[in-house]
Every structure is written in structure tokens, then in C-alpha cells.
Structure 1
Amino acid sequence: MKATYLFLRCLVLVSTMFATGIWAQTDLPSWSDTESKQRLVDFVQSVTTQGSDFVETQQRVAVFDNDGTLWAEQPMYFQLLFALDRLKVMQSDHPEWKTEEPFKSALAGDLKTALASHEDLAKLLFASHASMTQEEFMQAARDWLSTAKHPTTGRKYTDMVYQPMLEVLDYLRANGFKTYIVSGGGIDFLRVWAEDVYGIPPEQVIGSSIEKTFVFNDDGSTHIARLAEVDFINDKEGKPVGIDAHIGRRPLIAFGNSDGDLAMMQYTMAGEGKRLAVYIHHTDKEREWAYDRDSHIGSLDKGLDYATEHKKEGWILVDMKNDWKSVFPNN
């Protein structure tokens, strides 16, 4: 009886330690044993262990940019590649695109001309993302993701995720954090696959969006129609606004990789108590790409300086080349 009692007490103790964060997952196998990893682990342990820095579970919110933070973003944003492939599928229904810009250049592969202005980019995105039902768009995204391959690696785009960041997502959730995507990319495109790949459900995805309207059909069926108008751009100063609207709590941790994430990270760090901002710095030209200040995609200029200047205040610059043992799954 005494042995049984002690065994049950041990079970209760172990359960309590997991629940309170005193004993939780600390394994990040794809991370090298560097200062970046140690500072991340130390922070999580400090806010999940009873003491002066302890944070209640409901307040443990972590937000992640997507492009360049959770998956790759070179040679261009993957959702734009999806849009360009959609135009090729749709061109037989639009003979006018043979002479109409920016469609003519986009279909000919002349992206410099096709993407010369924000107005041209908007035309391409609206043509490929609007004037259809929500179900039609989601299915088109699923079909593309199931077959499309990255132009240089030959991997499916959902295999271009960062293994170390998948481990961070699991690590944080094991320690009582709720994880959100806060991306400049399209919210609906992300919601198609984020749950399967990241374990992040649709309601925890925040992104840019177009206008939609509810349609009640004569036969009693309903659908959501996608309109060729911008609803919200979830980038730069828009990210804190999106966080406030969708989450209603200031994050405890923010992860990003570009100047587009700086406002989100500053918003996170301005809260009370201990907080963490983590920039992923692309320094590995052999296993991925090396870029920062002058990149046409994911430029990290002001953010690089800011993170360097505020390192002692809880900012981390992850050096991809030195801090990660591997980059992609099975890599």
C-alpha cells in the first residue's frame, strides 16, 4: 500500500510540474548550443517557473511572422508564385491578357515589368485571388501546394519550412504558450495549410485580407464571395493592429526576420515584465540564402540595427549559419 501511495504521489508531482512549467520540454535538437538557444531557453524557463518573472498560462502568447521566419521566402514570396501559376491556369479564359499589362509580361515570365508597381501587383493578385468563392480559392491553394515545387530546391513549398522553428513551436506549446502566425501574407492562403504543417489552427492565423461578402443563393445554399478590394494589410505598423484585433493580448514573445516585423516586435517588447524579441538573420548561403539590408525580399536593415543596439534588453539575433544545425526537415 505504501509503495502504491508513493507511486501515485509521484504521478501527481510529475503532472503538476508539467502543468506549471517547472518541468517541460527543453529539447531543441536542430539548434546548436549557442548563446541564442540558451537565451531562448532561459527566457521560457524564467516565465514558466514560479518566481518573480512567472507568467500565468493565459498570458503566454507567442507570435511568429511566416515568410522568412517559419518558411523560406526566396527568390520571391511563395504566395506570389502561387498567384503567377494561377494566372497560367486561368489564361485560356482571358484572351485579353495576351496584350494587356501586367498580365502579358507576367505570363511571359518578365516579372521585372509585371511587378514594376504596386498597382500592377494588385492587379495580378486580385485576378488570381478574387472573383471566386472562398471554397474555390481554398481548393485552388490546396491543389497548388500538393504539387508545386520550389524553383531551385525542387522541394514542395510546405517542405521549405525551417526545422528549428518547428521545434520552437512545439517547445513553446509544451510550456503553455499559445502560438499565432502574424504574417503580411494572405490570411486565407495560410489557413489552408498552417494547421497541418505548424500545428497552428485557422483561428490563430492573422494575415492580410481582401473584402468578402455573404451570398444567399436562390436554392437556399450560401457562400462567401471574394471581392477585388483590399480589406486589411497586415504588415509593418499593421501587425500590432492585427494582433490587437485578433488576439486582444500583447504577446510575450515575437519572432520575425525583416523590417516588416519591427513594429510587431517593438509592440511586444513595450509590455510590462520580461519579454523576448527574436530576429532570424539569414546568414547561410550554402544551406539557404544570405541576405539582409539590400534584399528585395525580407529586407532587414532598421531591425538589424535595432536588435543589435537592444540586445541587453531582450532582443536576440539568430545567426542561421551558426545557430542552426539544420535548416529544412531531413536536411
Structure 2
Amino acid sequence: MGPFSSGLNRRTVLGGFAALPLLSSASFPNAAQAQAAPDDPLPSWNEGPAKTAIIRLVKSTTDAASPNFVPPDARIATFDQDGTTWVEHPVYTQVVYCLDRVPAVVKAKPELGKVEAFKTVLSGDRAAIAKLSLKELEEIAMETLTGMSVDDFKVAVAEWITTAKHPRWDRLYTDLTYLPMLEAMRYLRDNGYKTFIVTGGGQDFVRTYSQRVYGVPPWQVVGTATAAKYGYDKDGKPFLTKDPKLLLNDNNAGKVEGIHLEIGVRPVIAFGNSTGDREMLEYTTGGAGARLGLLLLHDDAAREYAYGPAQGLPHTKVGTFTQALHDEAKNNGWEIISMKDDWKRVFAFDAGSSSAR
């Protein structure tokens, strides 16, 4: 890892670049809303061990007469983002943002147009972009995610996230949130849980849209964080500048450290989908009382993607779910959510249904 980390280098992402258009097209979003029947808090889930485990945990931890009762202040649920609450393939959304920002950054700093990494992105040559080194990606991330005021960054991300579309579905990235996970978040909140996003992605990036997309306020987002520098503009007005100094790499063990630093309470339930979430699930389920860890396995190429390499699924460097992680989940009693078998619907716009168990 280099001296600068934006959360983009937590897993190798180069292979996905060639599948993406260089710049995103525009459309105004319709936020996906989970609609639950009164008698079923998780209507987009098929009946099975994962759904049963979630409902059982919520009931046992919120019943004052239960030996597993958890006081409201300690009801903490954590969700990874990329690959857990929305699509992460063929490449992370924040990487697409960085690439899309290159023309604007070069316009503001013309000297960057002579730097090879920026020249490659501006060329639009997807094969060449896919060959960018990790060091070159960090250079792009440094220039597109730092060096501006915090307020200017929020405006830029907010504008981009309401126009950027995924190349496969030609829909906004924010439309590609998983309906079953939105239902789980709402069900937990309806029962006194605080839901947190704990992501390897950039904390400031996710905070820009977390409330609108997930119902999670920005102060309940824990992510990879860089420093901010306090200063004054020409009129003496105070402001913060995003500084290229890593404070927290919120992936792997860093997720547990981030939970301790920013939440201060061990989660009761945690959702993830890859090796980067392993320690968070270990920490969550290692506490006393009723606890639950869940991992989403992407095994539905028809409705989304299929990758592992657990269970013989195709290998990936974006959201890797190894067989070793699968085996650890089984040994630790974590629930493995099969996208193909456990979810009736994947997206709010998806009318398709998988086979019920």
C-alpha cells in the first residue's frame, strides 16, 4: 500500500475497467424503496436459514423477557457496502467516479494532462486503462478525492451519483441497491437497531448519499478516511480541505478498528460478502449473547453476477469470497446468503423471482 489510500486499493480492480464506459450518462434517480407486507418483514427473501436467523435474532434480542435481550443503546447492525448492499462488479463505483473526474481535474490543473496515467484515462482506451498500475490508480485517486474543500467534494459527488449509470443495466448506481438488504435494514431499525455502513470505500464519498439511498445518516457511515485540514478562505471564512493523508484503511482488521473508533459498541449483527469483511464478522460473533454474522454469496449470473471462487464459482479480484472464508463461515455458524436461492428479488425494479426453497 502506498502512502495514500482512498479505499480503492483494498482489492485489485484493474480487470473491471475495460468493461466500463469512460464517462457516465445522465438521468435523474428514483430511490429504491423496500415495500414489506405487515405479516412479513422480509418479503423479498425466500424462506430459509438466512431469513429465519435474522428474524429469530431480532425477536430474541428485542424481547425484554428473553435471556438474549439487548438494550436499545447496544442494538448495533453493520453492513458492508460494495457487494453487500449494492453492485460492485465489474469495478467499484468509487473507481468509476475517480475516472469520470479526470477531465475536470485536468482542466483545473493542465499540467496533469502530461502525466501518463491521466493521459491514458483521457484517451478513452479501455484496454490501456485496464493496465494502469496500482500506483497510477493512487495518483488518480489522490487528485480526484483530495485537494479540494470538503464542501466542494460533497457537491461533486452528489451531482455525479444522481447521473452516473452502470453499463450493464443502464441504470443509476443507486438503483442497484439490493432490495432484500434494504428490507433487512428497515426491519432492524423498526426494532430499535441502529444501522451502520462499514465500508472499505471512502467515508466522505458514501456519506454523500447514504441517507437518501439507505436511510443511514452520514454519522453512521464508517469508511476509509483521509485527513482534513482546517483553514480560511480569502474572506476569512473557515473551511476544511481534504488532505491526502490516510487516517483509517477500513478494510479487513481495519473495519473492526473503525467500529471501535467511530461506534464504540460491538455489533450484534453484521453483513458482508468478501474476505475484507472476515474480521468484522469474527468480532461481531465473538461477543457474548446472541450474535449473527451473514455473508452474501454472489451465485446468480442471470440476475446479477456469479463469483467466488468459493463453491467453484468464477474467481474474482473484486469482492473475493474464498473457499477458506466459506469454510470458516460454516465452522463459526455464520449464515451464507445465496443470492440465487435466498432472494426472490434482487433489485426493486426486478420483477423476476428465484425458486423458493
Unaligned ranges ≥5, structure 1: 1-23
State the one-letter code of the partner of 2:129: L
Structure 2 equivalent of residue 72 of structure 1: 87
Matched, 1:62 2:77: yes
The answer for the alignment partner of 2:237 in structure 1 is 221
Provide the residue aligned with 1:322 in structure 2: 341
Note if contact 1:105-1:113 (Cα within 8 Å) is conserved in structure 2.
no
Per the alignment, residue 189 of structure 1 pairs with 205
Q: What residue is the counterpart of 2:330 in the other structure?
A: 308
Once the 2 structures are TM-superposed, how far is the Cα of residue 88 of structure 1 from its aligned partner?
2.4
Instruction: Give the counterpart letter for 2:47 in structure 1.
Output: D
Aligned length: 303
Equivalence for 1:297 = 318
Q: Tell me by how many angstroms 1:98 deviates.
A: 4.2
Q: Which has the higher contact order (CA 8 A, sep 6+)?
A: 2
Higher helix proportion (structure 1 or 2): 1
Q: Deviations over 1:239-262 (max 9, x none)?
A: 000000001111000100000000
Deviation at 1:218, TM superposition (A): 4.6
Partner of 1:113: 131
State the shift of 1:231 in Å.
2.2
Instruction: Give 1:26 shift.
Output: 4.7
1:44 offset after TM fit, Å?
Answer: 1.3
In the TM superposition, what is the alpha-carbon distance from 1:30 to its structure 2 partner? 0.6
Q: Report if the CA contact (8 A) 2:78-2:270 is conserved.
A: yes
Which moves more between the two structures, 47-56 or 317-326? Answer: 47-56
| Percent of residue pairs bearing the same amino acid type | 38
User: 1:9 maps to which residue?
Assistant: none
Tell me by how many angstroms 1:216 deviates.
2.4
Q: Distance in 1 between matches of 2:226 and 2:295?
A: 28
TM-score, normalised with respect to structure 2:
0.82
Q: Is the 8 A contact 2:162 2:172 kept in 1?
A: yes
Task: Give RMSD over aligned pairs.
Answer: 1.5
Distance in 2 between residues matched to 1:85 and 1:185, nearest whole Å: 17
Code of the residue aligned with 2:246 in structure 1: it is V
Unaligned runs of 5+ in 2: 1-37, 310-314, 351-357
The reply on whether 1:30 has 2:44 as its aligned counterpart is yes
Which residue of the partner structure matches residue 6 of structure 1?
A: none
When Rg is computed on C-alpha atoms for both structures, the one with the higher figure is: 1
Question: In structure 2, what is the equivalent of residue 232 of structure 1?
Answer: 248
User: Shift of the alpha carbon at 1:25?
Assistant: 7.5
CA shift, 1:202, in A, is: 0.8
Of the candidates 248, 262, 268, which is equivalent to residue 278 of structure 2?
Answer: 262
| 1:156-178 deviation line (CA, Å, top 9, x unaligned) | 01101000000000000111111
Contact 1:30/1:326 (CA < 8 Å) preserved in 2? yes
Name 1:11's counterpart in structure 2: none
Assess if the C-alpha contact under 8 Å between 1:30 and 1:164 holds in 2. yes
Does residue 103 of structure 1 match 2:124?
no
